[in-house]
Structure 1
Amino acid sequence: MLGTRLLLQRSLLRRIPLARSLLLARSFSAPLYNSRTPDAVQMASVQTAAKPEQLALNKRSNTHNKRKQRKPKPVAEDSPEQVVLQDVQRLLATKPPPSDLTPPVPLTEPFTLVELAIEDLSCAGEGLAVVGQRVYVVPFSIPGDVVEAKVVRHSPNGPYTECDFVRVINPSPDRDDSLVKCQYFAKCAGCHYQMMPYERQLKQKREVIVRAFAHYFPNDSTDHLIPEVGDTIGSPLQYGYRTKLTPHFDKRKNSTEPPEIGFTTKGRRHVIDIEDCPIGTEAVRAGLKERREYVRNNWDQYKRGATVLLRESTTREPKTDTDTTTAPESNTEDELVKYIERKFCISDNKGQTTEYIGDYKFTNSANGFFQNNNSILPGFVSYIRDNLSLPAPASSTTPPPEGETPEPAPPIPPKYLVDAYCGSGLFTVTCGSAVQQSIGIDISAESIAYASQNASQNSISNASFQTGTASEIFKNINFPGSETSIIIDPSRKGCDHDFLNQLLQFRPKRIVYVSCNVHTQARDVAYVLGDERGVQYKIDSVRGFDFFPQTHHVESVVIMTRDEEPKKPRRYSPSDKRARKENARARSWSKDRARYAREAEAKEAKLKEKLEAEGEGNPDAESVDTPMDMGDEEPRGRKRDAGEMEPEEDGVRPAEAEQRPPRKFEIL
């Protein structure tokens, strides 16, 4: 009896399931359960008393084991975590591999203070320091800094550790803390580069574009598909440029104090109470103070937290001789004579705002999307408009006199323009006047309504707009692709494969791809160039625009042109596994197998007749095995090894075989 009690107590201490302990007890004292002795009744009472506590212990034990066995979630492609991991792997690849005799460096305990020497910057604007074969990621630091940081967590997805910035021990030569204009910098998650000179910021943003395309074009040193990335175009205003801010607040339960209103802490969900934001325009900063006062006086009316909308709106009035109002910085001298601008802040989510880009007027939903830096928009729109023109054919170039370099022929404006993801019509309106007909497409009916209104109030009569889904975005477009330029300006997630497959089928002459996420842009460009239908496209230029100074964000523009000359498929496939899978599916001939079989049979019959006719005319002719396909392409499934020569066909040397135009198949 005593042994049975000890066994039960051990089961409670060691969290052994009760059923198992009772089974062991029965094996040691079987007569106990087959008799009606007082000891048996006492044992039953012990079992009944111990069961709830034992179940609770078992439940906690199972939960603990599940947490230990839980695998880390896979990192999504092109997510911020994946971009950081790419930077970490690239930096570790520059270090010598550790020898077998080198002992591994133990992981630092969380919340430990460490001293780190920053060697590089990630694409997310965070400093990278290498310790052993591990990278420590520290925000608000730049290469050359020696900083003190606090370890937060070791990433389960790669050899890097996330840290909090504490202080600078030895500053980098590129660091100038006198440039910082915000008292919340190094705490607020909004800005990353205020301590860095602006020219250095522009160079870093160009490097971000270079890295993104290098990731998706790993063999470009031999393929030469990507031209040299141009210098990033800077913003005329480095502070006071942002026309939209969205601070928020969280309402704590049973709290008697007004909540903090502002933006989140770097790496946390905690909201910092921010009274002013220097990157906002004067109207937005005034609106921030007004809305903060309103929330503090009426915070008890909110059941939970909320996001506050602050959006600048502009009115223009003709300037009179007696008016002495100072015009805004963005106006040119000619515009100063025409009008004066008055700016104010709108905080109603259902309201409307008015924006001016040069002489173009745009009305938008206050809560809708529109570019947030008006100071750079005139030059940006002009760059897009100039690059819509198609390059002149080589035959149109006038031969120069002897000894002089020929001048290229002027570009030819396209006849048609397609503005995909058009929003409220920014590019359709500002670029549509240079073409015969333009069309804007968006999935949002509200955006299409505003785009039509903007085209009407700017006297753009050759533009039309339609709502379309990604799967049928080109359904109602009857423009010939050879005379059409297309502008693509998707959200940060980029284009889906349905859209890209339709784009390749439409085959526009010129593609202008605008993106606020250069990583998804590089992925989509790799998809186009890696597809057989995109083999004729070449990249003319890649350049960044700094819409968001003091942050790591950069807007990128890629210009692509389709060459009419036939080309062989590139031996290149994007590094993205999903893109390769979709590419293979897009190139599949399974849907047209029957048609291709009929064509092959017809060619085979014609070839047999020709060979029979030649055989009758020449008795000495040898019999020839008739191939199923006499095209220049290899049979599917046969991959030529690197360095293997082209096979000879019909007695033609390889050099002559390459000069034959490749067969053209219509890929549906």
Structure 2
Amino acid sequence: MRRDIDKLWASLDVTPTVPADGTAPLELFETVEVRIVALSSTGEGIGLLGSFSSKEDTQDEARKGWLIVIPHVLHGEWVQGRVYRNHRGYSYADLDKVLVPAPDRQKAPCTYFGQCGGCQLQHMTYEDQLAFKKLSVEAAFEAQATILGPVVVEKVWASPDQYGYRTKITPHFDRPKSTTQCPDIGFLQQGRRRVLDVEECIIARPVLNAGLTQSRAYVASHLDTYKRGSTILLREDHQIIQPGEEGNDTDSPKEISRVVTNHKEIVRESFGAYQFEFPAGSFFQNNASILPDLTGYVRDHVQGGEEGRKMRFLVDAYCGSGLFSITCASKSFERVLGVEISEDSVKYARRNVELNQHLLPGVPCTYQVGDAETIFQGLDVPGPDTSLIIDPPRKGCSNSFLDQMIQFGPRRVAYVSCNVVTQARDLAYLEEQCRALHVPGWKLEHLCGFDLFPWTAHVEGVALLVRQEE
């Protein structure tokens, strides 16, 4: 949020009047009216107090330039909010009401929207959500423009399913207050650390909502066993049984879905012709409907082709249970190598090679346990003939990893990120280091987003790089 605030102040050429002791000019629970002049990268609206845009307080110099961060609003709207937290130069407020709505505001499809902290953008049309997320990717890379130069975000790929897409949800509840009253079971309230009671989530798979109903009944009948609050795991086990396989005596593929609540139980996720197994509590992408587009986009790049140069080797640096390395393996590769710090994930990556063997063109796929930062040590494949897939956690890559990547010099790189800010930071670091070392860097050939979580502010960034010639 601070980055968004500073950027807005700079664009408006406004500096707020902040007392030396940092005291805010607004009282907690004070009601304010503002016009929304920008949206933050996380989807909140930002309104500006003072003579620049507010209907009120135009003579109050103490409030001039002070910003109000308020959720569930659109650019240009006049809104009323109630302040609940103050920071240096800006305050957070709950939305009380929209005084003058934007013409493209839509009615939220979920009855819990505005209270539940899970979704941020249900007041936007889906087309506007994609446009907002494209701007979010652009803003992250604009922050590194002095190093990376101008960057073009080509598009944000839409999710085929906008409702009922989540294959995993984790509702919570606090410690029951008595053995006769069931606590609220659901998700954290917007801007609060309190649980909102949610009976159905419209972005969760139908089987998970059925599981939520069952879990609520179970908790209600076992209140005396909970000495503290708890989190419920609800994960879909989705299998496709082909004709002739056990359990399917028809001529068509048969889909079976059930809900799993045990973290250690093995589940299967299916999309296209691929199937993956992993423990229910482990990480796997939660929107299977967009995985064919996402993995296909990465596959087309790492195989090579645009410059007519096929790659011989594929390295997956944060391989998990093998999603990208398996879906991107092709007969053009002589070898596919995945590295993952979790021994359990490596075990299931190997299992998933067996599960998808009929789709793998005889390419040896090997997996090893190890830290991504040491992946290049002892790697016996030449960088110029290698494609590298990077899909790190939100914190991005360490400088140590990126330094080793420069030394290894993979020809093609696909950087998939759940945090476009750290993604842009990492690419800027690569460029700076390559310049300092006077070695060829990577050209950013393509940059786009993928909407893995419709109705939320999250966007997955995919950057496709090609090593420049000497």
**Do both share a fold (TM > 0.5)?**
yes
1:517 aligns with 2:422: no
Residue 109 of structure 2 corresponds to 181
TM-score where L is the length of structure 2: 0.89
Q: Is the 8 A contact 1:242 1:279 kept in 2?
A: yes
Residue 528 of structure 1 corresponds to 430
The letter for the 2-side match of 1:458 is N
Residue 454 of structure 2 corresponds to 549
The runs of 5 or more residues in structure 1 that have no matched partner are: 1-83, 326-335, 394-410, 566-668
1:386 aligns with 2:300: yes
Report matched runs for 1:50-129 at 5 Å: 84-97=1-14, 107-129=25-47
> 2:288 is paired with a residue of what secondary structure?
coil
1:368 aligns with 2:282: yes
Offset of residue 213 of structure 1: 0.5
> 1:278 is paired with a residue of what secondary structure?
coil
Residue 243 of structure 1 corresponds to 167
> 1:218 is paired with a residue of what secondary structure?
helix
1:171 aligns with 2:101: yes
Q: Is the 8 A contact 1:144 1:173 kept in 2?
A: no
1:147 aligns with 2:52: no
Q: Is the 8 A contact 2:318 2:372 kept in 1?
A: no
Offset of residue 254 of structure 1: 5.9
Offset of residue 86 of structure 1: 1.1
The letter for the 2-side match of 1:95 is L
Offset of residue 498 of structure 1: 1.7
In structure 2, distance between residues paired with 1:114 and 1:521: 37
Q: Is the 8 A contact 2:392 2:416 kept in 1?
A: yes
1:436 aligns with 2:334: yes
Residue 310 of structure 2 corresponds to 413
Q: How many residues align?
A: 441
1:268 aligns with 2:188: no
The letter for the 2-side match of 1:280 is A
Q: Is the 8 A contact 1:529 1:535 kept in 2?
A: no
> 1:531 is paired with a residue of what secondary structure?
helix
Change (3 A) 1:392 1:127: closer
> 1:376 is paired with a residue of what secondary structure?
helix
Q: Could you list the per-position Cα deviations for residues 428-465 of structure 1 after superposition, in whole angstroms to 9, with x for gaps in the alignment? A: 11111241100000000000000000012211451000
RMSD: 2.3
Equivalent of residue 218 in structure 1, options 139, 143, 146: 146
Residue 294 of structure 1 corresponds to 218
Report matched runs for 1:189-588 at 5 Å: 189-218=117-146, 223-224=149-150, 226=151, 228-252=152-176, 256-318=180-242, 338-390=252-304, 411-434=308-331, 435-459=333-357, 460=360, 461-532=363-434, 533=437, 535-565=440-470
Taking only the aligned residue pairs, the percentage that are identical comes to: 40
Q: Could you list the per-position Cα deviations for residues 196-230 of structure 1 after superposition, in whole angstroms to 9, with x for gaps in the alignment? A: 1101000000000000001122365xx44x3x111
Change (3 A) 1:164 1:563: same
Residue 135 of structure 1 corresponds to 67
Offset of residue 99 of structure 1: 11
In structure 2, distance between residues paired with 1:181 and 1:392: 42
Q: Could you list the per-position Cα deviations for residues 539-559 of structure 1 after superposition, in whole angstroms to 9, with x for gaps in the alignment? A: 111100000000000001001
> 2:466 is paired with a residue of what secondary structure?
strand
> 1:542 is paired with a residue of what secondary structure?
strand
Residue 45 of structure 1 corresponds to none
In structure 2, distance between residues paired with 1:527 and 1:210: 18
In structure 2, distance between residues paired with 1:106 and 1:352: 52
In structure 1, distance between residues paired with 2:207 and 2:134: 31
In structure 1, distance between residues paired with 2:283 and 2:408: 27
Q: Could you list the per-position Cα deviations for residues 292-346 of structure 1 after superposition, in whole angstroms to 9, with x for gaps in the alignment? A: 11111112211111110011111223459xx999xxxxxxxxxx96402121111
In structure 2, distance between residues paired with 1:169 and 1:198: 23
In structure 2, distance between residues paired with 1:492 and 1:269: 22
TM-score where L is the length of structure 1: 0.63
Change (3 A) 1:337 1:503: farther
The letter for the 1-side match of 2:461 is S
Q: Is the 8 A contact 2:9 2:15 kept in 1?
A: no
The letter for the 2-side match of 1:148 is Q
> 1:295 is paired with a residue of what secondary structure?
helix
Offset of residue 475 of structure 1: 1.9
Offset of residue 97 of structure 1: 4.1
In structure 2, distance between residues paired with 1:525 and 1:481: 18
The letter for the 1-side match of 2:469 is E
Change (3 A) 1:160 1:201: same
The runs of 5 or more residues in structure 2 that have no matched partner are: 18-22, 50-63
In structure 2, distance between residues paired with 1:141 and 1:358: 37
Q: Greater CA deviation, 428-437 or 366-375?
A: 428-437
In structure 2, distance between residues paired with 1:343 and 1:383: 27
Report matched runs for 1:621-636 at 5 Å: none
Report matched runs for 1:596-615 at 5 Å: none
Q: Could you list the per-position Cα deviations for residues 507-554 of structure 1 after superposition, in whole angstroms to 9, with x for gaps in the alignment? A: 100110000110111111111111135643111111000000000000
Offset of residue 382 of structure 1: 0.8
Q: Could you list the per-position Cα deviations for residues 621-650 of structure 1 after superposition, in whole angstroms to 9, with x for gaps in the alignment? A: xxxxxxxxxxxxxxxxxxxxxxxxxxxxxx
In structure 2, distance between residues paired with 1:88 and 1:499: 31
Offset of residue 412 of structure 1: 2.8
1:161 aligns with 2:91: yes
The letter for the 2-side match of 1:555 is E
In structure 1, distance between residues paired with 2:306 and 2:293: 24
The letter for the 2-side match of 1:495 is C
Q: Could you list the per-position Cα deviations for residues 40-59 of structure 1 after superposition, in whole angstroms to 9, with x for gaps in the alignment? A: xxxxxxxxxxxxxxxxxxxx
> 1:387 is paired with a residue of what secondary structure?
helix
The letter for the 1-side match of 2:309 is I
In structure 1, distance between residues paired with 2:349 and 2:180: 46
In structure 2, distance between residues paired with 1:255 and 1:535: 67
Q: Could you list the per-position Cα deviations for residues 45-89 of structure 1 after superposition, in whole angstroms to 9, with x for gaps in the alignment? A: xxxxxxxxxxxxxxxxxxxxxxxxxxxxxxxxxxxxxxx111111
Q: Is the 8 A contact 1:284 1:310 kept in 2?
A: yes
> 1:172 is paired with a residue of what secondary structure?
coil
Offset of residue 90 of structure 1: 1.2
Higher RCO, Cα 8 Å, sep 6+: 2
Residue 575 of structure 1 corresponds to none
- The structure richer in strand per residue is 2
Change (3 A) 1:476 1:266: same
